[in-house]
Structure 1
């Protein structure tokens, strides 16, 4: 256990993408504030200037829209028949990107496709670009690739995502070893826990606050509290009750977070009239306050390439012999050459490498 914990603490997921709730809230408020300031200045200086300014999204609005697009992403990835790991990686990429970038800055609809396609690469699954875009009418390969470098920058080039699925398999194996429960109960808990892990952590901030094993235990507690208690009793045998209670409190906190987005919402998210009534005005609001310079990612990519080509290359100054081998003490270049020739002639009769040994 200690070895696994130490290994996880060395991962980019822990070092770069783990936050306390207050820190996470502060980051989102800062991202929203910077986007509003930048877009306001851009709209005021546009031709013609925009007056009055549109009503911008609040951090709460962005959080609601973010989940809306994560569900959209998961359905698209499922339509492509991708594995649970790839779907989860794409969703976490999307959530990480929009932690330091606002939905108002980069269009989320375009980023969903890029996240799915790039998650396939990150998980070592080859998906031909043309085959991928053929599944989605109206999407081109150029649009998918246009946001790849932007996505990499937003992810801080950290593409490793640790998921709780392997931890679940280990927990079920351990429960079978203990032999206290019948196979039907274990099979039901296994299936239910995996269904939770495929949805609930991706619609909440669980990956930002908890380790993969803690997320797994939180989901297992939702599926079957008795199995969780049995695992903890075996794991903390001979240890203090306070240590066990501390871990259990952490797991219950994760469980409470996961219960806010139960897996049943995966199929009913779009059907609930409340969701439609809420998301429709928010999407309209988003269209009015987007960054005009980043709406078209293809044009943005081309502009950056042209700017890079037009940038003058620095001239490399050619060094003289004197800069490398020392100054010539005021002698001209011709005098230096004559001195070198005389030295060669005196040393070996014109032999470049001197007289024979």
Structure 2
């Protein structure tokens, strides 16, 4: 029987969206460089050409903007009355998309809405697009749907997102089975861990670096480190200290990332003058260096449809020339006559389903 770790390694989350910190940083730098090059070329080719070119966002500034728009998504999601899993899936879709796409290329304000709607689809949760449209001002269904295919391409059609919430429920059941702690302590840790998991992993890069179980243990270590140590003693009983210490080191590294973004930030961020001022500066900078061809995703989609409709249709093959279909449907000559004979025989019998069984 495959272990939980072996099953996770077969998932698209591990195969396509797991990176070392250095690899992820390299990808973001490459994305930023490509975006600057393409946008510069388009601005120079515009009428009139843009001269001088604006200051572009740096990779660090793009990451700061990504965190800001992730917070915007998490603030908007409760107004749509979406379950926790869907909010988390939508946030991860947004962060995956902007690994290989720049915030200067595709507008994050529009992708937020599309991620929320597509997160519902990915999790099998029925949500009318009109409901999300009604939640956001100056938004139409067409605006939400226009970026859907772009989003799917950006996340490499990997719709499966593994979250740590289920691992948390299993850990709580295990702690109760062990019987070493009273229910009040377990319940407090459960509540605090869940608060952390609903926020901190979604505004950091831990989903790219760690497994759902590692993220869960790291969050629980913040809430109550003693509970994690007890479960690890049980899990590694008789296996020596070396492996346990190695796993604990991974959990500690993940914990350090989570502690940089405590869940309390969700309520204090919007009232922090320093954060607000920094984002205003970056927003103004972003307006000046956006890709002029991709500011309006609805217009971009319409242009692509018109371009596809104008493509010349393939010419029909001359009569008698094979198109390869005869292997399945016949060659259009002798087989046609054979089918016609069978049709007449069935019509003469008067019952298209044939005589009754046993007749």
TM-score of the superposed pair, with normalisation by structure 2: 0.88
Change (3 A) 1:39 1:180: same
4+ long deviations beyond 4 Å: 321-324
- Which of the two has higher C-alpha Rg? 1
Q: How many residues align?
A: 325
In the alignment, the residues of structure 2 paired with residue 270 and residue 62 of structure 1 have an alpha-carbon distance, to the nearest angstrom, of 19
- 2:348 paired residue number: none
Taking a change above 3 Å as real, the CA distance of residues 239 and 317 of structure 1, as seen in their structure-2 partners, is same
Taking the TM superposition and a 5 Å limit, the aligned residue runs for 1:72-83 are: 72-83=72-83
User: For residue 253 of structure 2, what is the aligned residue in structure 1?
Assistant: 253
Quote the residue 1:130 is aligned against: 130
- Correspondence for 2:4: 4
Where structure 1 has 5 or more consecutive residues not aligned to the other structure, the ranges are 325-339, 341-357
Map 1:152-301 to 2 at 5 A: 152-301=152-301
Does the 8 Å contact 2:107/2:295 carry over to 1? yes
Question: Residue 162 of structure 2: SS of its match in structure 1?
Answer: coil
What is the rounded CA distance, in whole Å, between the counterparts of 1:144 and 1:275 in structure 2?
A: 28
Residue 201 of structure 2 contacts residue 215 of structure 2 at CA under 8 Å; is this kept in 1?
A: yes
Shift in Å, 1:132:
2.0
Gaps of 5+ in 2: 325-333, 335-359
Task: Tell me the distance in 2 between the aligned counterparts of 1:303 and 1:244.
Answer: 57
Deviation digits for residues 283-320 of structure 1 (CA, Å, limit 9, x no counterpart): 00000000000000000000000000001122242363
**Alpha carbons of 1:260 and 1:321: their partners in 2 closer, same or farther (altered >3 Å)?**
closer
Evaluate the alpha carbon distance shift between residue 319 and residue 248 of structure 1 in structure 2; reply closer, same or farther with a 3 A threshold: farther
SS for the counterpart of 2:271 is coil
Alpha-carbon distance between aligned partners in 2 of 1:292 and 1:67, rounded to the nearest angstrom: 23
Q: Partners of 1:29 and 1:322 in 2: how far apart?
A: 51
| Deviations 1:33-56, CA, capped at 9 Å, x for gaps | 000000001111111111100000
Q: Distance in 1 between matches of 2:287 and 2:137?
A: 21
Task: Give yes or no for contact 2:113–2:132 (8 Å, CA) kept in 1.
Answer: no
